[in-house]
Structure 1
């Protein structure tokens, strides 16, 4: 049996495996479409796509698309067919076999043949995963086209428009074709169309194939039918030279219905943004329950896609319908069209893909005609034209996943940004209107937009927050400080880092951190967070594995429930107070005291506390050695920084990537570190420092940005260079051991993360 990867039981979340290859995607700029003649890339009945092995799929299958897709492909459009299932099952298609959410791409009952169009992001290696939940099933896949970072066609949505309904005339007979002329509804520049194709009243088992007119009919199918069945499928197909498509019916006679959803053209339209498969609605668990007869459900998609999206690409499923019915999906706030997206049979789960035009609010409506049925909506992507930034813009470069390149460039989507923070795979931006926006990973709801799982490559608004004055990111959680002095958190709570009184029950929307008021600054590290109050005290919550909470206690006379903030044990003699906080490493905290001394606590890997303590130790709040007159502090991956009143910049901790900035080589990793401060060479008087993923940035009073540390193949230094990095000792292009000037200026704020590097530029 075909079983290319192992899964635990039949739970619809894939087993943990090695982290996936990074997706080759264009992130915030979107992708264009290249149609292909229908091409069969998988047929387990004859060994196509399986290396010749002829066996049904019992659990999982990895499908290599590298022969069908170019290296620039970011997503693929497939027609997926399941046949001869031995049991009722569902099939899922995903770009990776790692933390895959509960989704389905195709629903089957024993013995049937059914197809569904699937749009799925593809990793850099162009291999995707197919998973069968129960029994065995033969799988077929036909490529209709792919999305790419290259210049190609863009998508224009149309109001659902019925182009063909043969029920008003004669059905399509055996081995007969029907040409559909689209020259009156799409422009001359159109390259392909997307439509919902429904077959109804077939007199015998048959299949229907859509292909460009004037071309040879491919060995592929789009709709599979048994006698008397009504079944739809979304179809994307290239146009013939005359802007026509041909529909072929194999056996018996069948009525065909064609409802246009949109078209691709070379000179107009929106770009595509793939979304890691995520569930936006499941009425089986959502308030309100299933959709009743004649009932319309409103579906909020802003938790998954950009608010300004022009259209959403979805997989719709009707589950446990009580009677025959149809379901229509359309833009919220618009008249319901005389079309359908799902045709349901009593007691049978049915899925179909859909491209739904939206009305500018990222909401859609689902209408159920008869009986009751549960409705499930899985988001695969969306179409949009990114709004250009006009003032107070975000510039990005480098990073592990961003693909921005080694030179800072202005990013779209957001204007009016005042600050930005990044940590590993997530980014938070604060706008001048007091709203917070996030992008990156979302497996624990750390985007704060109201959904869990997947990722977003474009900014989504953190739900419900206004009046935000500062933001901070941890590894799997986000934080916001509001103008009323309260702190709010969202994401994972595995270590109690949300601070609301529990070490479980994470949240995909902001919740208030317990007991904090009068807060003036916040900071976050791996699974530990900090708040500075107006009285000059520091409070911590979350992980304490490495004493990241700094011997924190609940002050006498106060009530501090478990998993809520405690006061860090920082000495404050006389009238001294803490004036600034920062974080570094996985659980290291820093504080600047009003007398100009710097204090640190927590994990001391590579000497990250700068206290002279033994490497690897857990450190109680202690003074950073030899630094006086400090005016700013900062931290990074196992490294800390302070700027003193004489303009010097001091660094301590890990120097593997040159983040100490001393100019020293690193030939033996165990010696590339310092547990006491050393002077960063060639840099004086910066007003801000940020460090992450082995790269450090300093902003000088004139707005210039200086960088040192890791550069790598992504060009994290932002000076237009890159280097893949080989073995030690690293080349200067891979690792800058003293500060170099980036190509950006006039900067207000910087943020360094693994996802990418960012700067805010007022203009």
Structure 2
């Protein structure tokens, strides 16, 4: 196998700053170092929170209320982060949520650097602490300890259930997911443990491995039918069970169960050509991730596989859209994670 093209281009910027997590938006990225400080880099500085030109798009730390070269305090104490197409956000150790990036419509802010997100309950009150954050296409999802789900951003082509639209930079609760909140159903559950979505489609994973799906039409809900609820409202998808993790591209979703089974569904325009009705995609899988229009996963034998849009060789060679499972041509063995 060939060495991936990025291997020769590794930069020493993070020496002395071990990286805990990385998230990517469209042509930009953010990372948390071991101190909880957030770095940003990429093609568009207004998307990664640095808000200013840097030599060779080199990574710089995000500051509060000012560009990276300004006098604002460094954003620190961040425990986890995620991103939409053009914005990023993270949960701080004190339970506050901070966001940055290009335009409030995509979950970012109107000023420079990072700012605290409004609209959330006091995180010091029991049950109100954020425990999960996930950026979708144009909106963020946030899960609290009590099981309530909030969102912000959400311009057109969002991942939201029926009746919700863009709310800009002030978070709002998602009422249609409340019946599956932890404080409503109790510890026995099933209650929501994760939420994700693509364009005009979304899903919530429950504590017992079931999955709620919704979308703008019947072609974007994984074939669950609309007898129990309209397509745009959350309802259990009977084709998914025992699920432990999920990842969305713009137009499709993959779900990994506890036995290593990989399942998925896609919209009619899905670049990965996933089936309209949720069904099996692969077996003996240990982890899965997604880009905007493609998927990558690792099998328990350490090999990497993928499918979907491949103009820049994320799936290796040859270039071009891959509509079936294909082993990645790059040697990614250094990235192997034990099953």
TM-score interval for Structure 1 and Structure 2 normalised by the shorter chain: 0.7 to 0.9
* Alignment correspondent of 2:325: 738
* Alignment correspondent of 1:747: 335
Per the TM alignment, residue 618 of structure 1 is displaced from its structure 2 partner at its CA by 6.4
Q: How many residue pairs are counted as aligned between the two chains?
A: 303
Per the TM alignment, residue 674 of structure 1 is displaced from its structure 2 partner at its CA by 3.2
Instruction: Please give the residue correspondences for 1:231-246 in structure 2 after superposition, counting only pairs within 5 Å.
Output: none
Distance 1:426 1:613 in 2: 37
Go from structure 1 to structure 2 and tell me whether the alpha carbon gap of 1:700 and 1:512 turns closer, same or farther (over 3 Å shift): farther
Distance 1:408 1:657 in 2: 30
* Residue 263 of structure 2 corresponds to residue 650 of structure 1: yes
* Alignment correspondent of 1:567: 174
SS in 2 for 1:507: coil
Distance 2:231 2:56 in 1: 36
* Alignment correspondent of 1:482: 92
Distance 1:747 1:655 in 2: 33
SS in 1 for 2:232: strand
* Alignment correspondent of 1:164: none
Distance 1:702 1:746 in 2: 13
SS in 1 for 2:278: strand
Unpaired runs of 5+ residues, structure 1, are: 1-395, 398-404, 499-504, 554-559, 660-671, 726-733, 750-760
* Alignment correspondent of 2:71: none
Instruction: Please give the residue correspondences for 1:522-561 in structure 2 after superposition, counting only pairs within 5 Å.
Output: 522-543=133-154, 545=156, 548-551=159-162
Per the TM alignment, residue 746 of structure 1 is displaced from its structure 2 partner at its CA by 4.4
Contact kept in structure 1, 2:37 and 2:77, CA below 8 Å? yes
* Alignment correspondent of 1:662: none
* Residue 222 of structure 2 corresponds to residue 610 of structure 1: yes
Go from structure 1 to structure 2 and tell me whether the alpha carbon gap of 1:538 and 1:419 turns closer, same or farther (over 3 Å shift): same
TM-score, structure 2 normalization: 0.76
* Residue 192 of structure 2 corresponds to residue 578 of structure 1: yes
Distance 1:650 1:436 in 2: 34
Structure in which a larger fraction of residues adopt strand: 1
Per the TM alignment, residue 495 of structure 1 is displaced from its structure 2 partner at its CA by 2.2
Instruction: Please give the residue correspondences for 1:168-247 in structure 2 after superposition, counting only pairs within 5 Å.
Output: none
Distance 1:736 1:418 in 2: 33
Distance 2:168 2:157 in 1: 21
Distance 2:137 2:55 in 1: 19
Contact kept in structure 2, 1:704 and 1:746, CA below 8 Å? no
Per the TM alignment, residue 569 of structure 1 is displaced from its structure 2 partner at its CA by 1.8
* Residue 27 of structure 2 corresponds to residue 440 of structure 1: no
Per the TM alignment, residue 652 of structure 1 is displaced from its structure 2 partner at its CA by 0.5
Instruction: Please give the residue correspondences for 1:292-331 in structure 2 after superposition, counting only pairs within 5 Å.
Output: none
* Alignment correspondent of 1:680: 281
* Residue 58 of structure 2 corresponds to residue 458 of structure 1: yes
* Alignment correspondent of 2:115: 511
Per the TM alignment, residue 748 of structure 1 is displaced from its structure 2 partner at its CA by 7.3
* Alignment correspondent of 1:472: 82
Instruction: Please give the residue correspondences for 1:383-398 in structure 2 after superposition, counting only pairs within 5 Å.
Output: none
Aligned alpha-carbon RMSD (Å): 3.5
Distance 1:549 1:695 in 2: 21
* Alignment correspondent of 1:417: 19
* Alignment correspondent of 1:669: none
Distance 1:540 1:624 in 2: 22
* Residue 293 of structure 2 corresponds to residue 691 of structure 1: no
Unpaired runs of 5+ residues, structure 2, are: 64-73, 124-128
| Largest Rg, 1 or 2 | 1
Go from structure 1 to structure 2 and tell me whether the alpha carbon gap of 1:457 and 1:601 turns closer, same or farther (over 3 Å shift): farther
TM-score, structure 1 normalization: 0.36
1:106-135 Cα distance to aligned partner (Å, 9 max, x none):
xxxxxxxxxxxxxxxxxxxxxxxxxxxxxx
Equivalent of residue 208 in structure 2, options 589, 595, 598 = 595
Per the TM alignment, residue 600 of structure 1 is displaced from its structure 2 partner at its CA by 2.6
Distance 2:105 2:168 in 1: 15
* Residue 335 of structure 2 corresponds to residue 715 of structure 1: no
Structure in which a larger fraction of residues adopt helix: 2
